Structure 1
Amino acid sequence: MKKYFFLVIMAPLFLFANTASLSKSQEIKADLVTVVKSERKMYLSHRGKVLKTYKIALGGNPVGHKKVQGDQRTPEGYYKLDYLKENSSFYKALHVSYPNARDCCNARKMGKSPGGSIMIHGQPNNESGWFKSFLKQRTDWTAGCIAMYNSDMDEVLKLVQVGTTIHIKP
């Protein structure tokens, strides 16, 4: 009788514990965004565990670190996603904190501007049929940003908060 009584009491507690852990997992936010340029992939992770992976497009000249404005490169290194750009030419955009002090110094040595306005963003607003066919033919099309499908951008904004670190690798 005691064993039966114990199981009846423990079963509801066990079910409650599982339900609580499921609801907590739905609240997990990425603590790191990693872009691997050579793979054309972006990874969202939390405490070292990958939560989501996305296919991305980069700048038209993607190999190497962004040095100056207009070089069509996506920067490399550690930055922050420092604000959500509400008024973008693209479907939703998160700003990457490029350029940092070193980027500015290096560009200044060349007598140029480092550029800026590097974003993770969706597709262009008001895209037309020509753009969809363009995307099928060309992988990298941005001026140095990290682009993705609009539906993917919606997911990213649910999982990534302003202030999250982004690590952009070659």
Structure 2
Amino acid sequence: MAIMIAVLAGTTGYAKEEAGPGADLKAGNAASVNGVSIYVSKRTKTLSLKQNGILIGEYPVSIGASSSDGNKKVEGDMRTPSGQFYVCTRNDKSVAYLALGLSYPGVEDAKRGFEEGIITQEQRDQIINANLTGQQPPWETALGGAIEIHGCRVPDGTTHGCVAVDNTVMDVLWSYCNLGVPVTIGP
């Protein structure tokens, strides 16, 4: 129903074809997020998709199994990170149906990781640079990475840290989300 309203209101903003796997913001997609934003609430386990401030839909999600223990700190802690991210990859060959990769670890994660001795200065600088230039940050550091919004949600299930939605919801997200779409994950 929400999609039909959006179509009738002329507010749809389907993702460009060139925003496929491996594409990046320098490929011309930086300004083309079509007013789309995503908010994930870890408390209510919901994802809200908006375009130009209009709610397109709100959907149930599964999150990291240990997310109630706090924010993501390191690889393997089974927590979904909180913070401000952006879609940095689109993977149509994901083992979890379709996947939108998020820009975790972010700048603050990199600073914390370096201060706590979790990552090196070089890794910190690479993560910060990637975030400042709208690229995919390194995902193979001790902070973890490859945090995605993906399909294959199991009702009442959990993930290793990703945000999982039903495949039908992933189809909707896929059609709206270019690279660069802002994603906020809240408590």
Provide the residue aligned with 2:113 in structure 1: 107
Aligned-residue offset at 1:35: 0.3
Structure with greater helix percent: 1
| Structure-2 separation of matches of 1:27 and 1:99 | 27
Aligned-residue offset at 1:48: 2.2
- After superposition, residues 1-170 of structure 1 pair within 5 angstroms as 22=8, 24-27=10-13, 31-63=36-68, 64-112=70-118, 113-123=142-152, 135=154, 139-170=156-187
Aligned-residue offset at 1:26: 4.3
Deviations 1:50-101 (A, max 9, x none): 1111100000111221111111111111100111023322111000100012
Contact 2:36-2:176 at 8 Å conserved across structures = no
Alignment-mate amino acid for residue 52 of structure 2: R
Unpaired segments ≥5 residues, structure 2: 1-6, 15-33, 119-141
Larger radius of gyration: 1
Deviations 1:11-54 (A, max 9, x none): xxxxxxxxxx9372344755210001100000011222211111
Name the % identity.
30
Number of aligned residue pairs: 138
TM-score by length of 2: 0.67
| Structure-2 separation of matches of 1:22 and 1:52 | 15
Contact 1:81-1:163 at 8 Å conserved across structures = yes
TM-score by length of 1: 0.73
Unpaired segments ≥5 residues, structure 1: 1-20, 125-134
**Structure 1's 160 and 98: CA in aligned 2 closer, same or farther, altered over 3 A?**
same
